[in-house]
Structure 1
Amino acid sequence: MIAHTKNILMLSWEYPPHIVGGLARHVHALSLELSKLDNEIHVVTAKPSNSSDYEKQEGIHIHRVAPLNEEDPDFLAWIGGLNLAIIEESLSISRHISFDVVHTHDWLTGPAGGFLSKMLGIPLIATIHGTEFGRNKGVFTNLQQFVFSKEKELCRSAEEIIVCSDFMKDEVLRLLDVTSDRVSVIANGTAIEEVNISKLVIEELFPFLKDRKVVFSIGRMVKEKGFATIIEAANLLKQEAPELSFVIAGNGPLLETYRRKVWEMGLQDSVQFIGFISEEVRQALLKRADIAVFASGYEPFGLAAAEALAAGVPTILSRTGGMQGLIEDGKTGFHMEPGDEKDLAQKILWIQQNHSLAHHMAKSGQKGITEKFSWEHNAKATDTLYSRSITTFAQKEGIR
């Protein structure tokens, strides 16, 4: 008999305030809801500068560790050192806490998850948020081959695998050599109620937004997010719709490349790459946005797009991956063809010229997204999966 209260060891290379992409916010929202279900959650994650080694926030135990080779410029070596530090910290915690499950997110903490599963005799749950093959439309370099092999290794060692969409399940089954019975689709949630209570006046932080129509996007600054397409669309619209201000938030390796491109094209008055933003600023920008755009070429779910829809913002998103299922084209939002700046520009212009109808569509999109996706539902489904995996793992291992 499994006690209702479970002790969960949650591994993630990023966790607030260390936010690189959507993974940190996913793990935070999931952990928060799981703790409300009377589970004890211990998150072990990387330690950014000026943060504490341990704290308890919102009922969640957060343990932060520095990689053993913290200053190593080689990312793979740094990740290896992080996994070793996560293992050391987790084993230390396990001297006082008897864990029931270890849950790791993507390949980056997969080696630690696999080792801890064996050492502690508990099932490993793996959430696959995306694949190296999908992000790059193939596996071409030595680095990509390495990551791809680690994804396969993680899937082989996991008792159960969680993905966020049917699209992602198909991709995992096709690429990572797993059987369908081990893969569960548990959709992401949206946590947008905070937008409605944001008190920040965004023009005080970004004065250039005064009297402008805001086109907002956010994501990690990598090629597959499609920010180059947004820049090209802004260039097409600079004469016809000079009132538009494109505000693009997020950090990543291509941030300075995109900023240079904006200057080279003479778009510095209409396109702003503002870098990393806090949750408060993100909420305020969603509240202020007239249009939201997500032009990704690869997107397993589209958490940022779902939250823009949940905020009631007229939203344009790529017809790709799991994200395309968030809307009904022309009724609750707009699809665009990935990489097609002309298509995107036309959709933006239509929303501008048909404000009332676009607002009505956005309200329909808001209703649909909040009914379909919630972190409460995600956590309940995950909790049920934990219980099932504990039982099957015990049976396989002959544990009584």
Structure 2
Amino acid sequence: MRILVVSWEYPPVVVGGLGRHVHQLSVALAAAGHDVVVLTRRPTGSDAVSHPSTDVVAEGVRVIAAAEDPPAFDFSDDMMAWTLAMGHSMIRAGLRIRSRDGEAWRPDVLHAHDWLVAHPAIALAEFFDVPLVATVHATEAGRHSGWVSGTINRQVHSVEWWLARESDALITCSASMHDEVTRLFGPELAEIHTIHNGIDITTWPYAPRRVGGGPPTLLYAGRLEYEKGVQDLIAALPRIRRTHPGTTLTIAGDGTQEAWLRELTRRHRVSRAVAFAGPVGHDGLITLMQACEAIVLPSRYEPFGIVALEAAATGAPLVASTAGGLGEAVTDGLTGSSFRPGDIAGLATAVRAVLDDPAAAQRRARNARDRLTEEFSWPLIAERTAEVLTGAKRRIRHNLGRPSIVERPLPDRDVEKP
């Protein structure tokens, strides 16, 4: 197949797990013999002078990165305007795609990843008259506990709804996301397929945990956002330290809630026990994962949780909430330890169990790594995705009215004190 992939992030421009997912999937599809072209963008805040559009082949994938246009939009201040401008530049780049020998290049199918590329994906699928397949990696309502009360929340939700309704097939990364998409955007949707995220375990080397040798270290890795539940881990830390004195927590990543989380460490009197490491890169993350007694993933909302796979590959014992896809990626008692989202007491109990019996925790970690090669390999994920892309047929289009959006107030950000 000739596959046109549209994504707002692709290496070297990576914002989060979506960029890593699209990269690995595209490489695996190309390795399987498909002609894969990725349409993406140049870095935020650049322009056609400092960062002109590029067209390169990397790892068997042709990557076309559109330069940002001159008008000044800032993602953090003008997200919707910035997104529309990005979409406009990507559409123009998509219309100019030619084969390497100068002949016309037309895709057989278009694969869009998330709402930020809805406008270019829908426009280019219509122009080329090919099926549109969309992978929904998360939803705005899900990130806010089902509530979309703010102006931006409603705008994002409406674009997600539009992309879902325009798609000829949909892919979600977990059964929970399948149900969420059906509930939020159904019922008149194309078929929804559940295909888990994958991992290349060769890039995440395994190392057994050390036993003893000092106070235990816990690790959180991911974005610093409310839905990730880092506030619950900070609230549980005093309880953990009462039974396991000297326990420290390293927080790797950045996000909009960093200042608030730092304040919480002071409120819970654990600021000296918590280190905010910021973005650490691939190698730095491996080092942290291999050195910790456990990685804790306390998400309140998690479509999948690819960091759980990465941690499992390195041998880090997993302590994770059952939110969304994490409940499918981590099996309590077999591949890790689980607790209910937002349950601070349950979180503390799960961490204590790991620290009390490191040998059992290591057995679960080994089980988790062994499972990766069976269920989450990229060749298998690519094969399943190719089946969806091949089977998608362009449906008859009908005019759509605007969605009816239920508005409720956003949840407050109080956290339980120990």
Tell me the TM-score normalized by structure 2: 0.84
Are 1:288 and 2:288 matched, yes or no?
no
1:140 to 136, 145, 149: 149
Matches within 5 A, 1:1-400: 6-48=1-43, 53-54=53-54, 55-68=56-69, 69-72=71-74, 73-94=77-98, 96-137=104-145, 138-179=147-188, 182-196=191-205, 211-389=214-392, 392-393=393-394
Report if the CA contact (8 A) 2:165-2:189 is conserved.
no
Query: Which 4+ runs in 1 deviate beyond 3 A?
Result: 49-53, 69-73, 178-181, 263-266
SS of residue paired to 2:91: helix
The number of equivalent residue pairs is: 378
Distance 1:369 1:281 in 2: 22
Distance in 2 between residues matched to 1:344 and 1:287, nearest whole Å: 21
Distance 1:270 1:235 in 2: 10
Q: Quick check: 92-101 or 225-234, which moved more?
A: 92-101
Distance of 2:317 and 2:14 partners within structure 1: 26
Displacement of 1:344 in angstroms is 1.2
User: Do the aligned residues in 2 keep the contact of 1:195 with 1:284 (CA within 8 Å)?
Assistant: no
**Separation (CA, whole Å) in 2 of partners of 1:37 and 1:245:** 44
In structure 2, the CA distance between the partners of 1:80 and 1:25, relative to structure 1 (3 Å rule), is: same
**1:263: how far off?**
4.2
**Aligned amino acid, residue 291 of structure 2:** R
CA distance in 2, matches of 1:17, 1:227: 27
RMSD: 2.3
Q: Distance in 1 between matches of 2:117 and 2:296?
A: 31
Q: Which has the higher helix share?
A: 1
Q: Report the counterpart of residue 407 of structure 2 in structure 1.
A: none
Measured in 2, the distance between the counterparts of 1:100 and 1:251 equals 38
Give the 3-state SS of the residue equivalent to 2:68 in structure 1: coil
C-alpha deviation, 1:107, in angstroms: 0.6
- Give the 3-state SS of the residue equivalent to 2:204 in structure 1: helix
Q: How far apart, CA to CA, are the structure 1 residues paired with 2:247 and 2:259?
A: 22
Q: Which runs of 5+ in 1 are unaligned?
A: 1-5, 199-209
SS at structure 2 position matched to 1:269: helix
Question: Contact conserved, 2:219 with 2:294, CA < 8 A, in 1?
Answer: yes
CA distance in 2, matches of 1:300, 1:351: 25
For the residues of structure 1 that align with 2:372 and 2:273, how far apart are their CA atoms? 30
Would you say the 8 A contact 2:198–2:381 is kept in 1?
yes
Q: What TM-score results when the alignment is normalised by the length of structure 1?
A: 0.88
Instruction: Give the Å deviation of 1:184.
Output: 0.9
Alpha carbons of 1:346 and 1:168: their partners in 2 closer, same or farther (altered >3 Å)?
Answer: same
- What is the rounded CA distance, in whole Å, between the counterparts of 2:193 and 2:93 in structure 1? 29
> Do the aligned residues in 2 keep the contact of 1:103 with 1:126 (CA within 8 Å)?
yes
Change (3 A) 1:18 1:213: farther
- Displacement after TM superposition at 1:173 (Å): 1.1
For structure 2, list consecutive stretches of 5 or more residues without a partner in the other structure: 208-212, 398-418
Q: Percent sequence identity over matched residues?
A: 32
Equivalent residue number for residue 412 of structure 2: none
Match of 2:9, as an amino acid?
Answer: E
Give the aligned residue type for 1:116. L
